[in-house]
Amino acid sequence: MTPLFEILANLCLGAVCAEHILPVSHPMTQQKCEANAAHVVSTWIDKHPAYTVKDQSCMSVAALAPKAISVTETAPNHFVHFGKVEDVIAGSDGDVANTGFIIGSDGVAVIDSGTTRFVGESLYLAVRQKTDLPINWLILTHMHPDHILGAEVFQEAGAEVIGSEKLNSAVGIRAESYVGNMLRLLGEKQVHGTKVILPTKAVSGTFEIDLGGRVLTLANYKTAHTNNDLSVFDQTSSTLWTGDLAFLEHVPALDGSINGWIDVLETLTSMKARAIIPGHGRFVADHPDGLQPTLSYLKALRLEVREALAKGENLATTASHAGTGLRADWQMFVSFNARNATNAYVELEWE
Ligand SMILES: [Zn+2]
């Protein structure tokens, strides 16, 4: 087989320069890569006018293997990258969410794209280590920046970007603050090249993607973890990608509705599936057992917040203790529990 090549470009934003992969939608030989590189780079600069180009080159996909993100083949042609269980913090690369890809006989679907363009590029290279089939879809499970900010890489690779019908407006109103927050947390070097893009296709109810002998069923839900959650079910391996509807290890983060989230998890519990891939947490879990930790946490938190409301406790007092007995079960607890209790209080006080 002829070796395939990718375009590398050394791009600068002011004085901060970094090397990026600039994907194209068709596999390139070395000759084609070298013929196309200057044009691809100048097209990219047109779309990112704050950047300048220093130089560009071509490198084989095989030689780029060390830059590819690590993936685990959890079922045949079904690959998962397990993000770190930590906050997006200064000095880290921000790689904290689970992502992955599924390969059919005609093409590939990528699920979530990571916190920055660099994370997206390394996921793209992981796909290219496994197949040169077209990347037809990037599926975004919900709006949170650790899942979506690498998306432009896959759009450049030719993917249609698809999410819940509410994702477009949810991301649209938060785009600037997402990138601004990441710049503050990770710095210019890590966030280099990162730009928010909006999905181009919306799922209302359910939607099927046929990758060639392999069908994925996408489904959206009422407000739960967020108001734009989308799950992906791979029929071939009977694996359910929950996005952040399920957390393992990492304490759940409530940014939607506690009542809605409990209802949605109960619905997911009754579906037929073999395995689940959570949005955070470094392992594949059996279905439905892998949904239980999130469900148990949310139910316990709701009960305690309702009891506090019945006693007439104020928001600050409730947020200081509700759910804290569950601390031993979870990592990142202190970063999220009080905020979860606050959001639950605000929702439940009007019941
Ligand atoms: Zn999330």
**Centroid of ligand 1 to alpha carbon of 243 (angstroms):** 7
In the chain, where are the structural domains located?
A: 1-66, 299-348
Q: Give pLDDT tens digits for 162-208.
A: 999 999 999 999 988 999 999 999 999 999 999 999 999 999 999 99
For 240-281, the pLDDT digits (tens) are: 999 999 999 999 999 999 999 999 999 999 999 999 999 999
The arithmetic mean of pLDDT across residues 5-33, rounded, is 97
Grade residue 213 by pLDDT with cuts at 50, 70 and 90: very high
Query: CB 60: neighbour CB atoms within 10 A?
Result: 14
- Is the pLDDT confidence value at 296 over 90? yes
Q: What is the pLDDT of residue 194?
A: 97
Q: What is the whole-number distance in angstroms between the Cα of residue 100 and the centre of ligand 1?
A: 16
Please tell me the distance between residue 75's alpha carbon and the centre of ligand 1 in angstroms: 25
Model confidence at 125, in pLDDT bands (50, 70, 90)? very high
pLDDT of residue 87: 86
CA of residue 171 to ligand 1 center, whole Å = 13
Does the pTM exceed 0.95?
Answer: yes
Concatenate the DSSP letters of all residues of 91-107 into one string.
TS----S-EEEEE-SS-
Distance 226 CA to ligand 1 centre (A): 7
CA separation for the pair 54, 12 (Å, rounded): 7
Give the separation between CA 74 and CA 158, rounded to whole angstroms.
26
176 CA to centre of ligand 1 in angstroms: 18
Of 151, 195, 181, 174, residue with least CA distance to 90: 181
**Residue 30 has what pLDDT?**
97
Which uninterrupted H or E stretch holds 108?
Answer: strand 108-111
Look over the chain and give the mean of its residue pLDDT values, rounded to a whole number. Answer: 96
- The predicted-structure confidence for 45-59, as pLDDT tens digits, reads as follows 999 999 999 999 999
Percent of the chain having pLDDT more than 70?
A: 100
User: Residue 88 — very low, low, confident or very high, per pLDDT cuts 50/70/90?
Assistant: confident
Per-residue model confidence (pLDDT) at position 289:
98
pLDDT tops 80 at residue 1: no
| Cα 309 to middle of ligand 1, angstroms | 27
Average pLDDT over residues 327-350: 96
Q: Which protein residues have a CB closer than 5 Å to ligand 1 (ion)? A: 144, 244
For 121, other C-beta atoms within 10 Å of its C-beta total 29
pLDDT surpasses 90 at 91: no
Spatial distance between the Cα atoms of 36 and 271, rounded to a whole number of angstroms = 47
Residue 9 parent element (H or E): strand 5-13
> CB neighbours of 204 closer than 8 A, spacing ≥ 6?
165, 220
